[in-house]
Amino acid sequence: VTSTKPGTVFVTGASSGFGAAVARRFAADGARVVAAARRTDRLKDLAGEFGPQVLPLQLDVRDRAGVAAAVAALPEEFSAVDVLVNNAGLALGLGPAQDADLDDWDQMIDTNCKGLVYCTRAILPGMVARRRGHVINLGSVAGSYPYPGGNVYGGSKAFVHQFSLNLRSDLHGTGVRVTCVEPGMADTEFSLVRFSGDRGKADNVYEGMQPMTADDIAESIHWAATMPQHVNVNTIELMATAQSFAPFQVARE
């Protein structure tokens, strides 16, 4: 039986929220963790909690050549990645499509879709060669359920969902696993980023309800990654208990 306890985990967006919680969860479990993001000061603080077991890596996932170079230059002891957590991502804005800023749309597509595929493409060949690996992508309920202002953000997460399933087809018979984790409302810096640093608007999102925490999501990712090798968790959709569905809206004359 092949052990599923990951030796090396590569997590993008490790400077905040889910990514930082994932890095801590796996590091606490003894894994070596490559913690990647743009804000290195935060990554260094995270690494400082664990020592040389956590490698801070400055990386903008939108930089195609930079991603390939960073993966190729990983120190030997971090180079055989068992679990890639493609977590770096963001929503920008919550306005209607007809008023949206195209730069915001570009950034979401460049990060959530293109950055995710750059990281996957860079790390996947090693996993296939070793016949061992697990790609865990951060989708969202926004990729399955429409909501006003979700436009490109939800579209980018629908991409992540389908790309994850299609990866499974391509990886058939290789032993490499793929999971798409699709959370609803969780209290991280997500809303602060979405509302361009407006703390009041961000706090309003979670006002009077109990959102999920980054640790809740990290736990589900850790669970999927440590299931026995013969089990592939395709999709995990999870919501705050306080979040559910509403009826369709109808425009009446």
Alpha carbons 157 and 203: distance in angstroms, whole number: 23
Alpha carbons 235 and 181: distance in angstroms, whole number: 6
Q: Does 17 bind ligand NDP (CB under 6 A)?
A: yes
Q: Does 141 bind ligand 8X3 (CB under 6 A)?
A: yes
Q: Is 153 considered catalytic here?
A: yes
Amino acid letter for position 72? A
Applying the rule CB under 6 A, the residues between 43 and 72 that interact with ligand NDP are 59-62
Q: 163: closest CA among 187, 149, 182?
A: 182
Q: Does 240 bind ligand 8X3 (CB under 6 A)?
A: no
| Residue nearer to ligand 8X3 on the CB measure, 71 or 141 | 141
HSE, side-chain direction, 13 A CA sphere, residue 94: 14
| Residue nearer to ligand NDP on the CB measure, 4 or 137 | 137
Q: 242: closest CA among 207, 217, 218, 214?
A: 207
Structure tokens at 167: 């990866």
Helices (H), 177-249: 190-194, 199-205, 214-226
Q: According to CB under 6 A, which one of 120, 184, 195, 218 is a site residue for ligand 8X3?
A: 184
Closest approach, Cβ 5 to ligand NDP, in A, equals 24
- Nearest to ligand 8X3 by Cβ — which residue? 140
Interface residues with ligand 8X3 (CB under 6 A) are 140-142, 184-185
Interface residues with ligand NDP (CB under 6 A) are 12-13, 15-19, 37-39, 59-62, 87-90, 111, 115, 138, 140, 183, 185-186, 188-190, 193
